Amino acid sequence: MSGDIEDLVEVPEPTAESPVGRIAAGAEVIRAALRTMPFSPGVYRMLDAKGDVLYVGKARSLKRRVVSYTHVDQLSVRLRRMVSETVTVEIVTTHTEVEALLLESNLIKRLRPRFNVLLRDDKSFPDIILTGDHPFPQIAKHRGSRSRPGRYFGPFASAGSVNRTIIALQRAFLVRNCADTVFAQRTRPCLQHQIKRCTAPCVGRVTAADYAAQVADAEAFLSGRSRAVQAGLVERMQAASDALDFESAALYRDRIRALTQIQAHQDINVAGIDEADVIAAHQAGGQTCIQVFFFRGGQNLGNHPYFPSHDRQLGVEDVLGAFVGQFYDNKTPPALILLSHAVPEQDLLGEALSVRAERKVELFTPQRGDRRKLVEHALTNAREAHGRRLAESATQRQLLEGVARVFALPGLPERIEIYDNSHIQGAHAVGAMVVAGPEGFVKGAYRKFTIRDPKAAGDDFAMMREVFTRRFVRALEERAAEAEAGEGTERNSAWPDLVLIDGGAGQLSAAQAVLADLGVGDVPLVAIAKGPDRDAGRERFFTADRPPISLEQRDPVLYFLQRLRDEAHRFAIGTHRAKRTKALGQSPLDEVPGIGPRRKRALLHHFGSARAVARAGLADLESVPGINKAVARLVYDFFHGNGP
């Protein structure tokens, strides 16, 4: 009987719109590209219908590597999705596989394809520089390319650790940290000399030879010869004490204490490790935490955790290998990199990093000994950071569930937008939007709105209307563009699931009117107003379809909503202050057409202020050196109402 039923069941043929049909179409695109693809090394890119890059890969032989994507039954789910969206394949040939690997890392960081492992939180790390382009070298924090002459020491894991180290080094070696321009203008010692952090070479309080000795000690310490430097200071302290020069002995004592303070921050130091990075990865729950520890000059300069974005099916070795390639794209790798796991093509990766560093770079996965202890220490930190991240994510999810419950949302809000305005009596009026989601605040999505309508500035309701109009007109345009591209009209990641407004019923009505005019009816709006006497903890929440509500003062959801409101307030105030500070640095002369920096400087030097220029007569203006009659007439007419 079952056979008869099976004979009656009609199995539909795969269509171009079905998942199977899309995968087949993508595989056919790749087969077509293979007809003219060479066997040489290079980099390939898979592009979608919009021209966005889906995936970047490198190959020793492009044709042999790319052909594997046509065997769809052997691909992972992730790669099948990638093939199904591919409409174009582009390639770049290289001379060697090492060049291909370097180019692949560069393109991944620049193009950020969503099917690659992505290092989202990449940044440059600060160094310490002892400058080499001045007779009296300066010690300073440096970030970016090492283009200035001098000796560089780092990287340090944070700016705070650099600042602490520089202060301690100044106490120990009395090396200046002032800029060269400040140095050249000094006529008497500054405060740094008074608090015994500098020997005041700017005014000749130390000879060039003695200052060079101070710099040499600092350089030796930063290079890892701290024991020898400290022993030398002890000898000098003892000699000064024996000579009854107790003031000098006390100075050496203070310098020794400063060195000890620096060394106290180096929690894990291993003999034989002079310059190395220790990189360890821990993976659980489809998420990977990678810890990077920096060792330079035999000292631990701190660590930093990373959470790269990747497909949940990728193994820890693949994620770690992709991370290393991208991490050193804008950094000089050290001579030794210790890894917690052996990564694919580890020797090739080491060769590529050697090319980038222009010296030998070794990637090593220790199994025993002191080096393994370092890796285990990094793994422990990665495991703990991963646990904290998961706990924070779980807590954030519970709070979002509470928000959904309080405001009767249809589901968990993935994107909450919070709005606030800031101005002083209408001056420098700005609107601000901050964004929060399951991972916390999404600072890359924050937006600033300079209020354009002069009539709206100072009117909170009018400002709110302008901000909402600009925000949602743009959002509707983006949605329409996606619909035209064939992506449907479903919500995209930039469409809010909830909008919070700092204000009361009036602000809520202004926002509702704008959304009604635009035909937007699927965005829940909530206004959050402080209670009587602006008492935090007694907030009331206004919505469109029910009376205002309040939450218990100890309700975690209330604290969460307050934190969202406070972040929007902080961002709005900061934006307003930055705008106001910039305006304070401007002059009315900046608005006079035809007045450049040279003429502006001449006028200010002659009259002393822009207000005095505005009050000056025509003859006075003509008497200023560098100001001819035509320019004087232009300035006079501008300030006396006859200008353009």
Mean pLDDT of all residues in 14-20: 63
Portions of the chain given CATH number 3.30.420.340: 416-423+431-481+493-573
pLDDT number for residue 13: 52
258 HSE (CA, 13 A, CB side): 23
Strand order across the beta sheet in which 287-296 lies: 299-306, 287-296, 276-284, 336-339, 362-364
pLDDT at 7 over 50: no
CATH fold of 276-388, please?
Nucleotidyltransferase; domain 5 (3.30.420)
pLDDT digits (tens, 9 = 90+) for 132-143: 899 999 998 888
Mean pLDDT of all residues in 318-346: 90
DSSP string spanning 341-395?
Answer: SPPTTHHHHHHHHHHHHTS--EEE---SHHHHHHHHHHHHHHHHHHHHHHHHHHH
Question: In the block, which residue shows the tokens 């000699």?
Answer: 239
pLDDT number for residue 51: 87
84 HSE (CA, 13 A, CB side): 17
Portions of the chain given CATH number 3.40.1440.10: 19-111
The rounded percent of the chain whose pLDDT value lies above 70 is 88
Single pTM value for the model = 0.58
Read off φ and ψ for residue 454, nearest 5 degrees. Answer: -60, -25
pLDDT digits (tens, 9 = 90+) for 308-318: 888 878 889 99
Structure tokens at 543: 């919505």
Q: What CATH number labels 588-639?
A: 1.10.150.20
DSSP strand E in 426-552: where? 427-437, 440-441, 447-450, 498-502, 525-529, 540-542
Closest CA to 472 of 435, 511, 441: 511
Q: What CATH number labels 416-423+431-481+493-573?
A: 3.30.420.340
Read off φ and ψ for residue 627, nearest 5 degrees. Answer: -110, 110
pLDDT digits (tens, 9 = 90+) for 419-429: 988 877 667 78
Confidence of residue 604 (pLDDT cuts 50, 70, 90): confident
Confidence of residue 536 (pLDDT cuts 50, 70, 90): low
Read off φ and ψ for residue 3, nearest 5 degrees. Answer: -65, -40
Confidence of residue 531 (pLDDT cuts 50, 70, 90): low
pLDDT number for residue 145: 79
pLDDT digits (tens, 9 = 90+) for 538-548: 788 998 888 88
pLDDT at 469 over 80: yes
pLDDT at 490 over 60: no
Closest CA to 279 of 332, 224, 343: 343
pLDDT at 277 over 60: yes
Portions of the chain given CATH number 1.10.150.20: 588-639
Pairing of strands 525-529, 447-450: unpaired
Q: Tell me if 204 sits within 8 A of 158, measured CB to CB.
A: no
pLDDT digits (tens, 9 = 90+) for 202-217: 999 999 998 998 898 8
User: CA-to-CA distance for 595 and 600, rounded, in angstroms?
Assistant: 6
Mean pLDDT of all residues in 438-453: 85
pLDDT number for residue 47: 92
Consecutive H or E run containing 56: strand 53-59
* Exposure b/e, 456-489, CB count within 10 A at least 16 = b: bbbbbbbbbbbbbbbbbeebeeebeeeeeeeeee
Question: In the block, which residue shows the tokens 């990189």?
Answer: 279
User: CA-to-CA distance for 239 and 248, rounded, in angstroms?
Assistant: 10
Strand order across the beta sheet in which 139-142 lies: 139-142, 127-131, 150-153
Local structure of 448: helix, strand or coil? strand
- Residue 154 carries which DSSP code? -
Strand order across the beta sheet in which 88-93 lies: 53-59, 42-47, 88-93
pLDDT at 488 over 50: no
pLDDT number for residue 412: 86
User: CA-to-CA distance for 307 and 289, rounded, in angstroms?
Assistant: 5
Query: What homologous superfamily is domain 19-111 in, according to CATH?
Result: GIY-YIG endonuclease (3.40.1440.10)
Q: How many CB atoms neighbour CB 584 within 10 A?
A: 8
Portions of the chain given CATH number 3.30.420.10: 276-388
Q: Tell me if 339 sits within 8 A of 365, measured CB to CB.
A: yes
Cis peptide bond prior to 532, omega within 30° of 0:
no
Cβ contacts of 531 within 8 Å, gap of 6 or more: 537, 538, 539, 540, 550
pLDDT digits (tens, 9 = 90+) for 54-81: 999 999 999 999 999 999 888 888 888 8
